[in-house]
């Protein structure tokens, strides 16, 4: 027996239709530098989206053609976010931080036809543009010379000219909710980046979850500030969620230094913001050095991308009464899967303990941990295994089925290792590929790094597993000291000795000038292991 309910598709077009009518007078504000801002209503964004869709049709975009963006967080990027999926095409947000050869690869694999690009990013895009074979047109956003783009031989037009020439109405097609809305590639820490294709349905449901009380509780009394980039993983879904909620949006464009960020918060008064820990750390340092600023408009700050230090959360709460809510997700999970908010009625110390975890799933996401053979382990807060997730906004494959090994069980293997407690809170201790297996037991490289970084002489520390004849693997600690600081391996080992169990203590130490990093700034442990294997490091052995 079927329900009698309407067959009403969940689409980006429906979000746009709602935001540009019921919430047509809400605004998107874009920073233009030096404390200046420009504004547009959602009604105007809807009209601009129609103009963009008309312009793209005129440029030959049909069916599910891919339209790429190479942009900061700004109004035009928002217009592309709604126009491209709503016209039935597929938005491909190019990650400006990928290596040039990776950008070339992903644009080719996705078969991008048109790239909408900020002229302020011309110096990054122009060198790779001639190699982007499938791209025939560049739509340049903002002021500046087109020469760098034109040197590629592609057709180059100006965004504001091609949209101004078009009608502000578009005959938006009916769209199957399971069809592709947008694409994003993983950051490709190992091997080629892999494509994830978000659907209209998955983006709609993810937005609803972000708006829920256990998400960020977004409503039309909010003003959302996504600092996290729109060029990767949907800016944590904040743009679509804000449109759905009728919340104002504030977009920083390329102006993300702490001075500008604090000015933006102080003058535009966002209520909810999202950024990685580094940004909030910089903001806190700035506020410490420049007292008297007011960031009290923020009721909630979401933070993720890497583990959020409890000390940072405490500083925001104690000094500014601003709550930081840690979240976890990945490109493959749309991206928000879990949030670290404690249940009511807990003692303060227990609350902080929970806020230091990666959180627990929003309804819609299911999580479990499995052992090497895929057997499900208990949620007892002790068993450690690889995290698997499933749900309507979790990917079930990669574009063109690259790397099917991640989807054998009907769940996504996240490549993260950790434990889950009885209330569903997840604590991640490592990336699966970075786990150190010593004498049959796991050593957490992340735990060791977190402890080492707390030593006053240590600026950075990466711990990797290296081959060991007796124990199979043992940890190697690669340490960067602060300028002028000194610390011996013996001293650091002693420093760790009351913080972790004895058999975790590294015997192998190397002091380096910098830790190799991936394109998105994560420790590149593969390279560290390779350099160790090549004897490129000067290793001290202490026990």
Residues 388-427, interacting with a copy of itself (CB under 8 A): 390-399, 410, 412, 422-424
Map residues 423-452 to x or -, x wherever contact with a copy of itself holds by CB under 8 A.
Answer: xx----------------------------
The CA distance from 309 to 88, in Å, is 42
With a CB cutoff of 8 Å and minimum separation 6, the contacts of 158 are 139, 140, 146
Residues 181-200 that bind a copy of itself (CB under 8 A): 181, 195-200
Would you say 83 or 412 has its CB closer to a copy of itself? 412
Work out whether 92 is an interface residue with a copy of itself (CB under 8 A).
no
Among 84, 117, 119, 209, which residue sits at the site for a copy of itself (rule: CB under 8 A)? Answer: 209
CA distances from 10 to 197, 251, 395, 438 (A): 16, 26, 17, 49
Closer Cβ to a copy of itself, 360 or 451, answer by number: 360
Residues between 348 and 367 with contacts to a copy of itself, criterion CB under 8 A = 360-361, 363-364, 366
DSSP 421-442: -TT--EEEEEEGGG-EEETTEE
Alpha-carbon dihedral of residues 285, 289, 291, 296, nearest 10 degrees?
-10
Binding a copy of itself (rule: CB under 8 A), the pick from 32, 167, 214, 296 is 214
Question: Beta partners for 156?
Answer: 138
- Based on the shown chain and the rule CB under 8 A, indicate whether residue 213 belongs to the binding site for a copy of itself: yes
Judged by CB under 8 A, the residue of 77, 201, 419, 525 near a copy of itself is: 201
- CA separation for the pair 84, 206 (Å, rounded): 18
Q: Are 417 and 431 in contact (CB under 8 A)?
A: yes
Nearest to 49 by CA among 15, 76, 14: 76
Give the Cα separation of 450 and 231 in Å (integer).
29
Give the nearest distance from C-beta 64 to a copy of itself in angstroms.
4
- Respond yes or no: is residue 186 known to be catalytic: yes
Q: Compute CA distances 291 → 44, 273, 284, 298, 446, whole Å.
A: 38, 21, 10, 17, 34
With H, G, I as helix, E, B as strand and everything else as coil, classify residue 209. helix
Among 90, 249, 264, 417, binds a copy of itself (CB under 8 A): 90
Given 131, 402, 442, 527, the catalytic residue = 442
Smallest Cα–Cα separation from 255: which of 246, 247, 265, 270? 265
Q: What is the dihedral of CA 395, 401, 406, 412, to 10 degrees?
A: 10
Tell me, rounded to whole angstroms, the distance of Cα 515 from its chain centroid.
Answer: 22
Task: Please give the Cα distance from 84 to 90 (Å, whole number).
Answer: 6
**Region from 27-35, 97-105, 114-122, 207-215 binding a copy of itself, contact rule CB under 8 A:** 207-215
Q: Which stretch binds a copy of itself (CB under 8 A): 178-186, 312-320, 348-356, 455-463?
A: 178-186
To a copy of itself, the closest distance from the beta carbon of 437 in angstroms equals 29
Residue of 332, 386, 388, 449 marked catalytic: 332
Q: Where does this chain touch a copy of itself (CB under 8 A) — which range of 14-22, 148-156, 447-455, 464-472? A: 14-22
List strands edge to edge, sheet with 508-511: 458-468, 472-481, 508-511, 540-541
Q: Which of 116, 60, 73 is nearest to 91 (CA)?
A: 116
250 binds a copy of itself (CB under 8 A): no
**What single string gives the DSSP state of each residue in 499-526?**
TS-GGGS-SEEEE-S---B-TTS-B-HH
- Judge whether 41 counts as a catalytic residue: no
Does position 15 bind a copy of itself by CB under 8 A?
A: yes
**Nearer of residues 4 and 405 to a copy of itself, judged by Cβ:** 4
CB of 307 to a copy of itself, least distance (A): 21
499 is catalytic: no
278 CB-near residues (< 8 Å, 6+ apart) = none
- Catalytic residue, from 186, 333, 357, 518: name it: 186
In the region spanning residues 60 to 89, those forming contacts with a copy of itself, defined by CB under 8 A, are 64
The reply to whether 328 sits near a copy of itself by the rule CB under 8 A is no
Catalytic residue at 540? no
| Furthest CA-CA distance within the chain | 75
28 interacts with a copy of itself by CB under 8 A: no
* 32 counts as binding a copy of itself under rule CB under 8 A: no
Of 61, 124, 205, 287, the one binding a copy of itself by CB under 8 A: 205
Residue of 18, 105, 108, 286 that binds a copy of itself (CB under 8 A): 18
Catalytic residue among 437, 499, 522, 526: 437
Considering CB under 8 A, how many residues would be counted as binding a copy of itself?
74
> Could you list the active site residues?
186, 332, 437, 442
């Amino acid at each position: 027996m079927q329900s009698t309910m309407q067959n009403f598709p969940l689409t980006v077009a429906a979000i746009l239709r709602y935001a540009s009518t019921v919430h047509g007078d809400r605004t998107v504000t874009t920073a233009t530098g030096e404390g200046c801002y420009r504004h547009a209503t959602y009604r105007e964004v809807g009209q601009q989206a129609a103009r963009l869709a008309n312009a793209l049709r005129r440029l030959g975009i049909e069916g599910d053609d891919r339209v790429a963006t190479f942009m900061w967080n700004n109004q035009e990027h928002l217009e592309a976010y709604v126009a491209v999926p709503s016209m039935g095409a597929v938005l491909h947000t190019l990650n400006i931080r990928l290596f040039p050869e990776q950008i070339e690869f992903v644009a080719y694999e996705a078969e991008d036809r048109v790239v909408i690009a900020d002229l302020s990013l011309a110096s990054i895009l122009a060198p790779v543009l001639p190699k982007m074979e499938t791209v025939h047109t560049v739509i340049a956003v903002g002021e500046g010379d087109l020469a760098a783009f034109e040197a590629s031989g592609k057709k180059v037009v100006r965004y504001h000219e091609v949209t101004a020439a078009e009608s502000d109405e578009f005959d938006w097609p009916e769209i199957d909710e399971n069809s592709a809305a947008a694409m994003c590639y993983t950051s490709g820490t190992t091997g080629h980046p892999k494509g994830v294709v978000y659907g209209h349905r998955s983006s709609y449901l993810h937005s609803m979850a972000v708006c829920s009380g256990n998400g960020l509780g977004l409503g039309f009394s909010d003003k959302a500030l996504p600092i996290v980039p729109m060029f990767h993983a949907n800016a944590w879904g904040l743009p679509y969620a804000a449109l759905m909620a009728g919340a104002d949006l504030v977009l920083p464009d390329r102006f993300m230094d702490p001075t500008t960020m604090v000015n933006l918060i102080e003058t535009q008064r966002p209520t909810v913001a999202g950024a990685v820990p580094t940004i909030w750390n910089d903001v806190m340092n700035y506020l410490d050095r420049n007292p008297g600023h007011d960031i009290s408009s923020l009721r909630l700050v979401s933070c993720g991308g890497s583990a959020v230090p409890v000390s940072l959360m405490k500083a925001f709460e104690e000094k500014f009464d601003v709550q930081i809510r840690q979240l976890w997700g990945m490109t493959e999970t749309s991206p928000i899967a879990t949030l670290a908010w404690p249940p009511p009625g807990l003692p303060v110390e227990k609350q902080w303990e929970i806020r230091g975890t990666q959180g627990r799933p929003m309804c819609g996401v299911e999580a479990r941990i499995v052992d090497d053979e895929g057997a499900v382990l208990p949620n007892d807060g002790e068993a450690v295994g690889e995290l698997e997730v499933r749900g309507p906004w979790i990917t079930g494959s990669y574009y063109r089925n690259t790397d099917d090994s991640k989807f054998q069980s009907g769940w996504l293997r996240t490549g993260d290792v950790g434990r889950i407690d009885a209330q569903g809170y997840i604590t991640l201790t490592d990336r699966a590929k970075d786990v150190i297996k010593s004498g049959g037991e796991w050593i957490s490289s992340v735990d060791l790094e977190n402890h080492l970084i707390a030593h006053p002489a240590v600026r950075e520390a990466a711990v990797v597993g290296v081959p060991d004849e007796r124990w199979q693997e043992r940890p190697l600690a690669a340490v960067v000291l602060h300028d002028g600081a000194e610390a011996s391996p013996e001293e650091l080992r002693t420093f760790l000795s009351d913080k972790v169990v004895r058999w975790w203590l590294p015997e192998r130490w190397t002091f380096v000038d910098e830790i190799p990093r991936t394109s998105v700034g994560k420790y590149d442990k593969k390279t560290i292991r390779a350099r160790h294997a090549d004897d490129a490091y000067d290793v001290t052995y202490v026990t």
